[in-house]
Structure 1
Amino acid sequence: MTTADSKRHLPTTSLIPNTMNSLSTPELANLLPPCWATMVTEWLKEDTPSFDYGGFVVGEKQETAVLLGKSKGVVAGKPFFDEVFKQVGCRVEWLVEEGEAFEPIKEVAYVYGPARQLLMGERVALNMLARCSGIATRARHLRQLKDAHGFPGIIAGTRKTTPGFRIVEKYAMLVGGIDTHRMDLSSCIMLKDNHIWSQGSIPAAVAKARAAGGFSIKIEVECRSEAEADEAVEAGADIIMLDNFDAKGLKAAAASLRQRWTERGRPNVLIEASGGITEETITEYFCPDINIVSLGSVTQGVPHVDFSLKIQRASA
């Protein structure tokens, strides 16, 4: 079978549906777990652990504050922003939709409530919104690159998230239009170099993982060479991660693996590219033999979107 023939059997669109085609961005809040509001409570406890001196100064006068988007970006994080102000007794009125792109300076929302409560929630809400929107903005750009180049596979984030803030960052990926990858250690079994070294071989690590995870959890193996990838597929891995390949080497390895394992009756093995891929270089890795491209830079070192909250001054 030729490489051209093997490409007709790629599982990109059939096995990995483009999830964002079927997800409505305003409804993404329905994905949040029951415990997420307690996370917001902890944020507020951290920021006001004892006396609120500034709040004492401004008092209880009812005020209106305007949320301004001061740098270009995609708005993401509305459920968390709403919950911050709900917990301090304020109300939010949004002027934009979740996932909407805007140009500065943009009035994004109004927040109503007592002055001291508005200021109590201000920094917590802004810090969250700035980071969540920054991740969504980068994710949106990656999604646009995927669509513009006709890449049929999936762009995904990674587990390189901030401790205690993961649910917000994974949510932001979905708002931006990319895949979250595995949510945590319980979502998918990923066997990296340390796992393999501890067991002595790829087959031994995969066998132990399968015995624990059963039939319902996928197993992914990080591979540094074609030989390791062959070993992982032979051992029964569902996903092969080609890690830290340059773009040319990755494409060659993926094409070779795809053809070989299609001929051997495993055409549906998923191939993921990861390691050192950035927003600037991702298009070099697009090819029909790759199913998934993942980037840690979706969450690491991402610029934040600049927002401010200003209490409106009464006219003279």
Structure 2
Amino acid sequence: MEEIKNLKDVKKFKVDSERPFYSANHDEIKAGLTTDIYFIKTMEILRHMGLSGKNVVAEVFPRKSGIMCGVEEVLSLLKDKNIEIYSLPEGESFEPKDTVMRIKGAYEEFGMFETVLLGMLAHSSAWATASRQCREAAGDKVYICFGARHVHPAVAPVMERAAVIGGANNASCILAAKLLGREPSGTIPHAAMLVAGDTVSVARIYDEIMPPDSPRIILVDTFRDEAEEAMAVAEALGRTLEGVRLDTPSERGGVTPELVNEVRKRLDQKGYNYVKIFVSGGLSPDRIRELSAAGADAFGVGSYISGASPIDMTLDLKMVDGTPIAKRGRIPGLIDNPKLRKMK
């Protein structure tokens, strides 16, 4: 697909009436079809004035603190452009108004992609930031991102990849994990128990047919009291049981510290002290700390990460043909950040 160059190209582009999904594909993103139309108009004006090739330096800054992510996608977006890119590496922290990315080159090389690159950084950095907060709450304990169900499938891998960059041990989304060179993490949902009608029988079959590297962690809140079901599963699987998962719905009060403590105590009393307790369901950093203190060993976090509000990123031109410049209210010239690294 050819890159959009002008308003005629925009008019010429037609959407296939048989298109199955509304999300942009990779070629459409690279072609500039997800940018704002006013950047195409800007290029038309500057080309008409003979100014589109002016050398500029653009800087990107955030409105609040966070963890940098989305850089790899920006580099892929601008891979074939004759420009230099300096950026914070993914996983690095930033403060409000820090320069997190700097782009040098002719404006026509990258100007129309402002919308696209800011969107890549804004959302990924937000997800990575929320994930880092969960990591700080969990300490050395494991937590997995379970957030794919809360976002459009087109961006689910982007979100869960960002979560791992931010500190999650792994992702449950297959494509996200594969993009990171990993195998996805996860066991089974309540649906398996509901269809089969019994937790213990499902646990036995899971242990029998799943590969050795698939952790034996079984949900114990489907039919009976969580402590009772945990004991039944532990008795059935013995030493092969690695953990039980508590995902009690809010209609039943959710997973509480008292519940975690009771399950832990009952397992220990029967000699199942090797069985870990994995908790999930509406977890936030505060709840992770609370449940960890009660005895939880690992966590599944979804909506706290996936629902993070984008970190507002702004791109400003700071130099034009070597002259410092800025819009009113901003300081002309470059704002240094020693954390910047040359990426391209």
Instruction: Report the TM-score, using the length of structure 1 for normalisation.
Output: 0.73
Query: Aligned partners of 2:236, 2:84: CA distance in 1, in Å?
Result: 55
Aligned counterpart in structure 1 of residue 30 of structure 2, from 30, 34, 44: 44
Gaps of 5+ in 1: 1-37
- Structure number with the bigger relative contact order (C-alpha 8 A, sep ≥ 6) is 1
Query: Aligned partners of 2:143, 2:206: CA distance in 1, in Å?
Result: 26
Q: Which residue of structure 2 aligns with residue 238 of structure 1? A: 242
Equivalence map 1:1-316=2 (5 Å): 40-45=26-31, 46-47=33-34, 52-59=40-47, 60-61=52-53, 62-87=55-80, 90-94=83-87, 96-147=88-139, 152-160=140-148, 162=151, 163-184=153-174, 187-188=184-185, 190-224=187-221, 225-236=226-237, 237-244=241-248, 245-260=255-270, 263=271, 266-287=272-293, 289-314=295-320, 315=323
Q: Which residue of structure 2 aligns with residue 29 of structure 1? A: none
Q: Give the 3-state SS of the residue equivalent to 1:299 in structure 2.
A: helix
Q: Give the 3-state SS of the residue equivalent to 1:160 in structure 2.
A: helix
Instruction: Report the TM-score, using the length of structure 2 for normalisation.
Output: 0.67
Q: Which residue of structure 2 aligns with residue 5 of structure 1? A: none
Residues 283 and 304 of structure 2 are in contact (CA less than 8 Å); yes or no, is this contact kept in structure 1? no
Residues 134 and 304 of structure 1 are in contact (CA less than 8 Å); yes or no, is this contact kept in structure 2? yes
Which has the higher Rg, Structure 1 or Structure 2? 2
Query: CA shift at 1:63, angstroms?
Result: 2.7
Q: Give the 3-state SS of the residue equivalent to 1:164 in structure 2.
A: coil
Q: Which residue of structure 2 aligns with residue 30 of structure 1? A: none
Residues 72 and 102 of structure 1 are in contact (CA less than 8 Å); yes or no, is this contact kept in structure 2? yes
Gaps of 5+ in 2: 1-23, 176-182, 249-254, 326-344
Which stretch of structure 1 is more off in the superposition, 155-164 or 42-51?
42-51
**Match for 1:99: what amino acid?**
G
Residues 190 and 221 of structure 1 are in contact (CA less than 8 Å); yes or no, is this contact kept in structure 2? yes
Q: How many residues align?
A: 270
Q: Give the 3-state SS of the residue equivalent to 2:203 in structure 1.
A: helix
Q: Give the 3-state SS of the residue equivalent to 1:303 in structure 2.
A: coil
Q: Give the 3-state SS of the residue equivalent to 1:65 in structure 2.
A: strand
Query: CA shift at 1:303, angstroms?
Result: 2.4
Query: CA shift at 1:52, angstroms?
Result: 4.4
Q: Which residue of structure 2 aligns with residue 19 of structure 1? A: none
**Match for 2:232: what amino acid?**
E
Query: CA shift at 1:211, angstroms?
Result: 4.9
Query: CA shift at 1:241, angstroms?
Result: 0.7
Q: 1:304 to 1:282 in 2, by over 3 A?
A: same
Query: Aligned partners of 2:200, 2:67: CA distance in 1, in Å?
Result: 44
Residues 83 and 109 of structure 2 are in contact (CA less than 8 Å); yes or no, is this contact kept in structure 1? yes
1:62-108 Cα deviation digits (max 9, x unpaired) = 432111122221212221222122155543112x3432222221112
Q: Give the 3-state SS of the residue equivalent to 2:195 in structure 1.
A: helix
Query: Aligned partners of 1:139, 1:110: CA distance in 2, in Å?
Result: 25
Give the RMSD, CA atoms, in angstroms. Answer: 3.1
Query: Aligned partners of 1:73, 1:307: CA distance in 2, in Å?
Result: 11
